[in-house]
Chains A and B, each alone.
Chain A
Amino acid sequence: MKARLADATGVVDRNGVKVSYEVYGEGDPALLLIPPSPITHSRSWKGQIHHLARRNRVVTFDGRGNGLSDRPTEAKAYEPPAMVADMVAIVDEVGADQTVLVAHCHAAMWAFMLASRYPERVAGVVAISPGIPYLGDSNPHWIEVSEHWEEDPTDPEGWFMCNPTYWRRGGYASWIRFWFDLLATEEHSSKQVEDMVGWALETDAETMVLGSEAEAPDASREASMQLTRSVRCPVLVLHGSEDRCQLPTRGREVAQITGGRFILMEGAGHLVAARHPVAVNRHISSFLADIEEKPMPSQTWTRALSRRRRALYVSSPIGLGHARRDVAIAEELHQLDPDLEIDWLAQSPVTTVLEAEGHTIHPASRWLASESAHIASEAAGHDLNAFQAIRRMDEILLANFMVFQEVVEEGAYDVVIADEAWDIDHFWHENPELKRGSHVWMTDFVGFLPMPDGGDHEAYLTADYNAEMVEHVARFPRIRDRSIFVGNPDDVVPDPLGPDLPAIRDWTMDHFAFSGYITGFVPPTPDEAAELRRELGYRDDERVCLVTVGGSGVGRALLERMIGAYPYARQELDDLRMVVVAGPRLDPESLAVPDGVEVVGYVDRLHRHLSVCDLAVVQGGLTTTMELTAARRPFLYFPLKNHFEQNRHVRYRLDGYGAGRCMDFDSSGPEEIAAAMVEEIDRPIEYRAVESDGAARAAHLIAELL
């Protein structure tokens, strides 16, 4: 899912060529994000839009030749004047009197042309890896490419694939793959390359030929000098030192001629907006602040010893699982330090729990892009590739990190408690100078693991992600001041993090403290259980099977399967009552049920029901299965297909406790399930006990930093 949807979309039509644009947010000056089409389109700004649109109106568009825009078939249609005219038509149509232009690569040429021709319309230009011909050093590869442009290469490799004849012969995709692999000089750029290749393949060889030939038809050093010299507005140039498309001396000369600011991003390649979005976003924001000349707002700085202790708690919103344990930890922290102020940066559904308990939710939480909606959108039936879902959440994680960073820069927090807040941990390692306060990293699993369906490629990707984490932690041990594994050493899988990487358990033992498991509640004693059953309306002469899929909205398939199994189970268990919990996201009315089965919606404090049921049927999520383990209830669990955490990490842990019976959704029909229910419901419970002091132990580990 996208981090933010457009507030308005539109199309300008000039001489029959339609160009599609999008508008996000409000605030002056408007920003026009210009993609270097036709090789890419507006989505190449996905790392910038959410951040910039929180303060400014952001307009972006698909340049002719890609995305939702037309693909005209004559070269003239792609020449710079046409591009500039499109941009003018768009800013006219959205009514932006003055804009700041943000352009990448050869689109910087169009930005400067617009700024030069309509100086009153342009308040500033951010040129990223600007491709202004003949300025600075020219890349010798491009010269070579143009020398061989008209030739017909046989089996070209590398740069020689940049050839219209080869593209038309079917080589376009090969060139694109080579090209973006080459541009992403940084390690661990698989997602950015995949994105870029995908967008480039939305256009075709013929369009790319036209676009390439039209890029700079009258190029000369004199023309480039004249153009850049005529730009009068403030200019910011960002350029990677390892840029293999536009050499950084080019950006430096652009800045010199325009009197602009040049920021060299050492070690970065050509795709800085995609690969280093945090730095790029912050540079754009500070450029905007500089040119806006707004007076500095009044503010308060509190003397160090006059400050109360403050914590910012960031609880992962993927499912409800973490909310209860985080609340339990927060309560233990208050026991240790009643004056501690805790702000929560959280989103639905976690906020539901927090609000009910009276916790303080930071107002910036409203800016957070929904992670749980993204995860739900990634699920299909009883299938959720959790690794790919998290990986494809890059845009949302970035958007939320940018919000988080502003919160910690203003909040003077002593500690940030990040319970599986991947964005914080990842982007602080990528931008270590941004860290504020101590950082407690909490997780209940370590290491992405490939699922068999993903094949070699997923094995490569998970290993690459794990390798990046290992390198991050080794290079910047100061980013995680305390790492807490929610569990015990025995819970950690022994699998390798990847080829030539340490085993997960060894690495976790070396880098984490262990809090034990944290359920967030104490299971009832037998006396309390009897009382609770009465309170919840469960009779002694019936056996209650609770079916629940949590709050994630993923799980209709399992509920329907279980409803189908009920009649078979009922044949063996005549006192069986089945309660199906649809959760807040599924409509209970939409499920048809036989007698003996009832469907309920959202259930407050579901763990109380789970702790007194006679049998539970659940997915493979850690929170619910461990609640059942702690309460010593029999249960069947169906890990979501392709969900590495449920299939490997959780299952391994439950096996250690001797808890639950793992079921395969695909191969378990109603009769098999009913048979398993009958077997499990009377099985004596011999689970290893779950500790109840986990929250207190975690709180002590955190409090040492306060």
Chain B
Amino acid sequence: MKAKQPDHQDFIARDGVKVAFELYQNDGPTVLLMPTWSIVHSRHWKMQIAYLARHFRLITFDGRGNGGSDRPAETAAYADAEFVADAVAVLDATDTDQTVVAGVSMGGHWAALLAGLHPQRISGAVLIGASTSLVPRDPHRQVFDWDEELDTHQGWAKYNRHHWERDYDDFTRFFMSQVFSEPHSTKQREDAVAWALETDGETLIATQLGERITADVERRILESIRCPVLLIHGTEDHVQPHASSQVLAEIVGGTLVSIEGGGHLPNARDPVQVNLAIRRFVETLRPFTARPAAGARP
């Protein structure tokens, strides 16, 4: 069972693509949890929702291509700009004037774009293991071409469209073993593989072909971010190097929390630390207000 059920579920539709969102009501400030690459859907936030929803108004949505959202076949539907526009549409549909945005991996990339492009809507951004085109991928990810037919399908050679077509299951198991590099991560890998199997290889290939913004544009948008930014990144992230967040933190003037020994999805693998960090971050954004507290003598 889920730890917490949403108070409201609905869809937005843009250009005929329906995107499912969920809202957890609360009087506190709003936090928007972005989708990430459509290999998973909003359940990747499952360890955050019950906790954050006790303190904040929370919005999640399934990225197009997985979960309760449509799985358009055309690659244009998966451009960076579409995910950012979906987020804005979800904010509109929930009457959210301003929110803190949080995103993991690709979702971190989109969260940063959202903060840069819609400064009046975003009061703070949390970027976790965020993707960026400004830092080259680790060497082990640069060996094999994604598009070409390879003569091997071992290791990162599985990150290849032809392998996805032939044996999507095998790819997802491999990929999630890389996402969760931490020992004793069986449950997290199992969860993520199951979410990956809610979509298929064809859809994932389409997401991969969606239009990405260029490095130059990304840099300009990042430089325009004015809101506070919290970055969280594992030092053992085998998917997106830890250096990415160091570079991003430098550009946006953000605070980097490094998780020594942590992999690519610390929100799933080290949820307590991530939950506390997000809450602390959101609370520091609030102006100093009366907050009754009682300290008891022993």
Contacts and interface: CB of A to CB of B under 8 A. Distances in A.
A234 B288 contact: yes
Contacts of B298: 429-432, 475-476
A298 interface: yes
Interface string B282-294: 0010001111111
B255 A266 contact: no
Given A301-B258, A301-B273, A276 B297 contact: yes
A264 B257 contact: no
Interface in A248-266: 255-256, 259-266
Given A186-B297, A265-B297, A267-B297, A306 B257 contact: no
A276 B297 CA distance: 9
A303 B297 contact: no
B257 A261 contact: no
A302 interface: yes
A301 B257 contact: yes
A266 B296 contact: yes
A133 B106 CA distance: 59
A539 B70 CA distance: 98
A15 interface: no
A267 B296 contact: yes
A356 interface: no
A401 to B, nearest CB: 15
Given A255-B290, A262-B290, A262-B292, A298 B258 contact: yes
Contact of A300 (B230, B258, B289): B258
A266 B297 contact: yes
A358 interface: no
A389 interface: no
Interface in A462-513: 475-476
Interface string B243-254: 000000100010
A173 interface: no
A95 interface: no
Contact of A261 (B253, B256, B293): B293
B255 A298 contact: yes
Kindly state the interface size class of chain A when it binds its partner.
Answer: 35 or more
A236 B44 CA distance: 40
Interface stretch (B158-166, B209-217, B259-267): B259-267
Most buried by B among A186, A260, A301, A431: A301
Would you call the interface of chain A mostly helix, strand, loop, or mixed?
A: mixed
A255 B294 CA distance: 14
Contacts of A263: 293-295
Nearest to A432: B298
B146 interface: no
Nearest to B256: A298
Contacts of B291: 261
Contacts of B284: 293, 296
Contacts of B270: 301, 303
B183 interface: yes
A594 interface: no
A234 B286 CA distance: 13
Given A262-B292, A263-B293, A296-B255, A303 B228 contact: no
B281 interface: yes
B263 to A, nearest CB: 9
B294 A264 contact: yes
A342 B262 CA distance: 25
A303 B230 contact: no
A174 B44 CA distance: 69
B267 to A, nearest CB: 13
A266 B295 contact: yes
A303 B249 CA distance: 21
A303 B259 contact: yes
B187 interface: no
A301 B266 CA distance: 11
A255 B289 CA distance: 10
B182 interface: yes
Contacts of B182: 303
B230 A296 contact: yes
Nearest to A298: B256
Nearest to A252: B292
Contact of B260 (A234, A290, A302, A431): A302
Contacts of B293: 261-264
A387 B281 CA distance: 47
Nearest to A472: B298
Contacts of A260: 290
Contacts of A295: 228, 253, 255
Contacts of A600: none
A154 interface: no
Nearest to A290: B288
A305 interface: yes
Given A261-B291, A290-B288, A296-B281, A303 B261 contact: yes
B239 to A, nearest CB: 17
Most buried by A among B235, B281, B288: B288
11 contacts: A256-B290, A262-B293, A266-B296, A268-B297, A276-B297, A298-B255, A301-B257, A303-B182, A303-B261, A306-B260, A306-B261
Considering the complex of A and B, which 6 residue pairs feature the smallest CB-CB distances, nearest first? A306-B261, A267-B297, A302-B260, A303-B261, A266-B296, A298-B256
Given A300-B257, A301-B270, 13 more contacts: A261-B290, A265-B296, A266-B294, A266-B296, A267-B297, A293-B284, A296-B281, A296-B284, A301-B258, A302-B259, A302-B260, A303-B259, A431-B298
